[in-house]
Chain A
Amino acid sequence: SQQGEEDPQALSIQEGENATMNCSYKTSINNLQWYRQNSGRGLVHLILIRSNEREKHSGRLRVTLDTSKKSSSLLITASRAADTASYFCATRTLIYNQGGKLIFGQGTELSVKP
């Protein structure tokens, strides 16, 4: 089952620009996480934001969470060509019969041109 939707599905920017990706979800959550995946590779955990947090920073990453709108955004500042990858949000659900599973959004494919 899919939890959320992400937009845009694809984003192409120039090196140095900022990239913003959005994620919406449907159910109550315990936390929301962002992952990066290079083509054909495994997942890299980027950042986790708890349901009682509104904003979190990690290096060039800034994540916001609005539980009233059931949405989150990931901002990558001063992007680099190496940031080119697919980015996924994942929510840990609170629904009892889903046992706190991690459910992924559709993903945003980011391309950063040198």
Chain B
Amino acid sequence: GAVVSQHPSWVICKSGTSVKIECRSLDFQATTMFWYRQFPKQSLMLMATSNEGSKATYEQGVEKDKFLINHASLTLSTLTVTSAHPEDSSFYICSARNKDHTTSGGYEQYFGPGTRLTVT
């Protein structure tokens, strides 16, 4: 089955530093990857859509310069939280769309296990 991994699974960093989170599709090629953020007891909020080889499309209200997304290959996308602050502490989940697997007219989408970021 399609597997999406994230690394690290959890990270603690100091305020002002930058943190990079990796999202990999392990056994399929993903032309599109999505990044979500989830605060405790809340739903997943889509942050951005990233397409391989092009700039990411950010949702309204998400700071492009703070959340840098790079989708350098068909199996890897990275999210860098720059100059992290305590309010950036959250659960970050990536999702990858399998370009070769469609269902009901749309591409199948698989979720990673998430990365818990704590900024102290």
Task: List A residues at the B interface (Cβ < 8 Å).
Answer: 1-2, 30-31, 35, 40-43, 45, 48, 50-51, 88, 92, 99-107, 109
Contacts and interface: CB of A to CB of B under 8 A. Distances in A.
B44 A88 contact: yes
B45 A2 contact: yes
Interface residues of B, number: 26
A43 to B, nearest CB: 5
Give the top 8 A-B pairs by smallest Cβ distance, nearest first. A42-B113, A50-B104, A104-B44, A43-B111, A31-B104, A104-B43, A107-B43, A42-B114
Contacts of A100: 106-107
Interface of B: 34, 36, 41-46, 49, 57, 59-60, 91, 93, 95, 103-107, 109, 111-114, 116
Contacts of B44: 43, 88, 104
A99 to B, nearest CB: 7
A30 B106 contact: yes
A105 B43 contact: yes
A94 to B, nearest CB: 9
